[in-house]
Amino acid sequence: MSDPACKKRILIVDDEPYIGKIFSLKLKLSGYDVAATCSGAEAIELVRNDHFDAVLLDIFMPEVTGLDVLDAVRKFSKVPIIVFSARHDVAELAQSMGADDCVAKPINPDALVDKIGSVLARAAENKSA
């Protein structure tokens, strides 16, 4: 049986570089191809100009926030987006704006890998339906 993570490309967007490094390492060890950025503006351009199977997006970032990124990306892409937030109300807002799922902070890296697998499986089911 093939690995579900095989060849799946994930973009991590978080203004805390160490968070991106931790998640990148965990996802790479789980078989994903990973790109990361600390900039919301750069994230929008990366999604516009490259292929990603999912985006992990921090909500609270300076300048271009995660909600700004979500709003911009949803205008041109249906890529699955998982948002991170410590605030339940903001997570609900993000889901109403088109986020596919939400992970509460603090984030357990193993739970995040499971969540990505679930979101990717759901996206694949929706594509084939």
Q: 7-33, pLDDT tens digit by residue? A: 899 999 999 999 889 999 999 999 999
Number of DSSP helices (H) and strands (E) in the chain, helices first? 5, 5
Q: Return the pLDDT at 42.
A: 98
Q: Residue 3 pLDDT more than 60?
A: no
> How far apart, in whole angstroms, are the C-alpha atoms of residue 62 and residue 51?
25
> What domains are defined for the chain?
9-128 (3.40.50.2300)
9-13 and 33-37 beta bridge pairing: parallel
Whether pTM exceeds 0.85: yes
Report the chain's terminal Cα–Cα distance, integer Å.
23
